[in-house]
Amino acid sequence: MTIDFSPEVKVRAFWYGSWESGDWLAAVTKRPGEGWQVDYRTRLYSLESGDDPFGDEDEKIWRSFGGQDADETELTADMIAALLSVNNGCEVHKYLIDGSGSDAMKVLEELPWFHCRRTQLCPVSTEGLKGVQGE
């Protein structure tokens, strides 16, 4: 599973938070012909993966669910972010996009924690970005 930031996807917002033993990434998106949805991934770090952002040893837990409209779906993601922040003692950052997947990728590319492999899952050019690992 992945969070779809393709150009044709509408992105309302995305969230990111990290703590000593893991991190969390979520997005509220709308694919053409579908309703708004929240996709999120919790990653629990493994000692074996070290500093590798693509470490296969890390445990990744994916969840996805739909909402009635953009506001309700965003509010649900906000509540999950707040609970995650309290439970893990971390700050969760929210990035409002209200644009396309391409708009979201432009914001993501500027963030120091962002890593993306060059695949169909990362359709925007990542040429010259720090922390990007090519295939």
pLDDT, tens only, 92-120? 989 889 899 889 888 877 776 665 655 54
The whole-number pLDDT of residue 105 equals 82
Average pLDDT, the chain: 79
pLDDT tens readout for residues 54-72: 566 788 889 998 877 999 9
pTM of the complete model: 0.75
* pLDDT score for 3: 83
pLDDT band at 53 (very low <50, low <70, confident <90, very high): low
What are the angstrom distances between the C-alpha of 34 and each of 31, 68, 74, 100?
Answer: 5, 11, 16, 15
Q: Which residue would you say has higher pLDDT here, 129 or 103?
A: 103
Distance (Å, whole) CA 33 – CA 53: 33
Q: What is the pLDDT of residue 55?
A: 62
Q: How far is CA 2 from CA 31, 89, 127, in A?
A: 13, 25, 21
Domain spans, the chain = 10-109
Question: pLDDT tens digits, residue range 16-50?
Answer: 998 988 889 899 999 999 999 999 999 888 877 66
